[in-house]
Structure 1
Amino acid sequence: MIPRQSAWGAIAGTAVSAGALAYAQIALPTQTLLSDYALVSGGLVPVLIGMLALAGACLSLAYGLAAGDPGRTAATRVLLLAGAAGLMMSAIFPTDPSPIGSMTGEIHRWAAAVVFTSLPVAGWALARGRAAAPRWNAVRAMSVTSAATLAVYLAAHPASITSTLISGSAYYGLLERGVVLAEMVLLTAMALAPIERRPTVQTSAPPVEPQHSERSERLAA
């Protein structure tokens, strides 16, 4: 179990990140990839907020797991820290206009790869061995969904040898958004699953002792 403040901090950070990226998607000229919004006027700030807020969500969840369940969540915490580091590196080193041709762009690319791969594995590691409760099933399901969406995205990316076979260049940007959305939902599920539950207070009426009337007592006597 993790402290409620850590769980809600992770959820709040994820919500801020989703809002910032949604703003870029709606208010700015359409870009192929989400990180490309940093290259257009007015796009750098929402992209930075989105990345750093999501990094904060990963850190808040990792802190909560360290405080509430340190022995069982070591692998998950390492992966969450890797994801947070990848997001911060992606914010510090922006992408290049396609094709990538600078060291900054390469760092951004590989940092994003760390984020995309570490979070699904973190979710699966957290839920591994847990009871088949709905909250843990949700974490497992979103881990698989995130990993599957990432696999399709990588297959469709123009840098992949399979891209031309599946016409991936036409929709790989949409798949990247799918990966980001799935991992945001996964982080939320990971924050909610181990949250401390309030103890249930059960109240019961004291047993009622049978009442004997005066007449019954006389008859008994």
Structure 2
Amino acid sequence: MTWRTVLAPVAGAVTAVAALGYAQAALPAQPLISDYALVPGGMLPVLVGTLALAAACLSLAYGLAAREPGRTAATRVLLLAGTAGLMLSAIFPTDPGMSDISTLTGEIHRWSAAVVFTALPVAGWSLARGRAAAVRWSAVKALSVTSGLTLGAYLAAHPAAFTSSLIGGGAYYGLLERGVVLAEIVLVLAMALACAPGRAAVRAEGARATGAPAQPESRQRLAA
């Protein structure tokens, strides 16, 4: 990936965090992030944040297609699924209330959000799986696992789940949802930074300096 294709998902992720932070700080407290779109002044930051993250996923998929078209096919499909889910959840707002979904738009929002929450952690794991040991890929794996575990806890704590009353989930399910969203935004950011350009060239130069044979470019890309 070139720096241009890396900076696009980074900018989208940063914008999404800023929009979420603005809604959290400036608007009346809401149980879930999507509920901010239902209060005065809340639609714009929710739309900006959601579409910025969608743009980040889309630009990351584009960059991966140019960098490793064969190896990252599954990752790109999952990123595009996340992009579609984010766009649908932005277009179709949620219904008011904690668990009672009674309209078609509310159902579309619910299931598109479910696609996003599940697709991005799997995309991160798919991208990092089988890579050479490096801090950046370990970070992507760790964030993927963190996102998945936090999502599981959120689903168990949501008032619509039968497990919610058993674990007192009504008191903190909104915090868990924010944790899932933040973890997945950071995951997209980490995926983009892990694919930053120049690493293969650095390894090749190091190999020449030590007299070790440099790997072919295709193997350097796979190790990266």
Normalising by the residue count of structure 2, what TM-score does the alignment of the two structures yield? 0.88
CA distances 1:134-168 after superposition (whole Å, capped 9, x unpaired): 01000000000000000000010111111110000
Distance 1:156 1:94 in 2: 22
Higher helix share: 2
Aligned to 1:45: 44
CA distances 1:157-188 after superposition (whole Å, capped 9, x unpaired): 11111111000011100000000010011111
The 10-residue stretch of structure 1 (82-91 or 187-196) with the greater mean CA deviation from structure 2: 187-196
Write out aligned runs for 1:1-150 (5 A): 2-98=1-97, 99-150=100-151
How high is the sequence identity, in percent, across the aligned residues? 68
CA distances 1:104-156 after superposition (whole Å, capped 9, x unpaired): 00000000000000000000000010011101000000000000000000010
Per the alignment, in what secondary structure is the counterpart of residue 165 of structure 1? helix
Distance 1:3 1:165 in 2: 49
CA distances 1:57-95 after superposition (whole Å, capped 9, x unpaired): 000100000011100000000000000000000000000
CA contact (8 A) 1:142 1:182 kept: yes
CA distances 1:18-43 after superposition (whole Å, capped 9, x unpaired): 10111011000000000000000000
Distance 2:153 2:127 in 1: 24
Per the alignment, in what secondary structure is the counterpart of residue 30 of structure 1? coil
Higher Rg of the two aligned structures: 1
Per the alignment, in what secondary structure is the counterpart of residue 180 of structure 1? helix
Give the total of aligned pairs.
203
RMSD of aligned residue pairs (Cα, Å): 1.4
Aligned to 1:170: 171
Unaligned 5+ residue runs, structure 2?
A: 210-224
Distance 1:68 1:23 in 2: 35
Normalising by the residue count of structure 1, what TM-score does the alignment of the two structures yield? 0.89
CA contact (8 A) 1:76 1:125 kept: yes
CA contact (8 A) 1:3 1:67 kept: no
Unaligned 5+ residue runs, structure 1?
A: 205-221
CA contact (8 A) 1:3 1:195 kept: yes
Distance 1:131 1:153 in 2: 32
Distance 2:166 2:5 in 1: 45
Distance 2:120 2:4 in 1: 21
4+ long deviations beyond 6 Å: none
Aligned to 2:192: 191
Distance 2:106 2:21 in 1: 23
1:6 deviates by 1.2
